[in-house]
Amino acid sequence: MIAWDDIGIILGRKRFGETDLIVTALTREHGRHAGLVKGGVSRRMRGELEPGSRVTLSWRARLDEHLGSFRHEGAAAVPVAVLEHPARLAALVSACALLDLALPEREPHPELYALAGELLDRLESGDWAAVYADFERGLLEALGFGLRLDACAVTGAAEGLRWVSPKTGCAVSEAAGAAWAARLLPFPEVFRRTGIASYEDVVAGLGVTGYFLERHVLDGRGFPEARGRLIERLSKARVGNDENG
């Protein structure tokens, strides 16, 4: 018998048979991991196993390569304020779905567990949308394609950054990149962090992170629908007015 106990964030679930669920979670020590939850379709269990819920998990299997089963306790549900706010809920669902799509199974990523936890903690804050952009940037970093935005890759200058190279993910200054401007991505202002970012800056930043996620992480599988809903709502919202998000 193989067994472990860990804490995790529920990423997704799907029905298995009449009464059970196969649940996927991002655990702190064991990475993205799936397991069968007996009786998971019950109203109580489904409420505790929503994407974004934080739980203590016990996994058991006869052999390590088996799916195994989960038992859970101590579920911390997603706050009502997030569930009732369409854009924040879309950010939550998008983050969980991206992690479920992008991460190899059973490969520990404690830094991503911490990053996802920070996003969940900040979804009720005033800068939640910028924190979501940070999450996507952190996901790229953890999977080996971090954006290098502190200084120009050509000159080393930290001032006048205007573009990002679509090949390397490195910043390029206005002076160094003017001749190739049509081939470069716009510098994501959301990552300058000079205050609470506007929704316009967040959407532009997600355009950049999305470019690299699509090419280096998702392998043609496409983005979660929730990410599209998030971008649509932020695009329609008045700058800085969270009520419209």
Place of tokens 């394609």: 145
What one-character DSSP code corresponds to residue 2? E
Between CA 233 and CA 200, with CA 136 as vertex, the angle to 5 degrees is 35
Which range (38-42, 96-100, 159-163) has the least confidence?
Answer: 38-42
Reading the block at residue 123, the tokens are: 């979804």
Alpha-carbon distance of 237 to 85, in angstroms, equals 13
- Per the document, the length of the chain is 245
Q: Are residues 240 and 125 in the same domain?
A: yes
Q: What is the mean pLDDT of residues 219-232?
A: 93
Q: Are residues 28 and 87 in the same domain?
A: no
Q: Is 245's pLDDT higher than 70? A: no
For residue 219, tell me if it sits in a domain.
yes
Domain total of the chain: 2
Phi-psi region of 52 (alpha: psi -120 to 50; beta: other; left: phi over 0): left
Q: Are residues 92 and 213 in the same domain?
A: yes
Residue 30 contacts residue 21 (beta carbons within 8 Å): no
Q: Are residues 103 and 216 in the same domain?
A: yes
Alpha-carbon distance of 145 to 168, in angstroms, equals 8
Angle between helices 128-142 and 110-122 (to 10 degrees): 170
For residue 139, tell me if it sits in a domain.
yes
Sheet containing 161-164, strands listed edge to edge, beginning at the edge strand earlier in sequence: 171-173, 161-164, 185-186
* Structural domain for 34, as ranges: 2-76
Burial of 60 (0-12, 13-18, 19+ CB in 10 A): middle
Banded pLDDT at 197 (limits 50, 70, 90) = confident
End residue of a domain, out of 19, 43, 76: 76
Q: Are residues 142 and 211 in the same domain?
A: yes
Alpha-carbon distance of 164 to 159, in angstroms, equals 14
**What stretch of H or E contains 231?**
helix 225-236
For residue 165, tell me if it sits in a domain.
no
Q: What is the mean pLDDT of the chain?
A: 92
Q: Are residues 131 and 195 in the same domain?
A: yes
The model carries a pTM of 0.91
pLDDT of residue 219: 86
Residue 72 contacts residue 13 (beta carbons within 8 Å): no
Per residue in 11-53, pLDDT tens?
A: 999 999 999 999 999 999 999 999 999 998 998 888 889 999 9
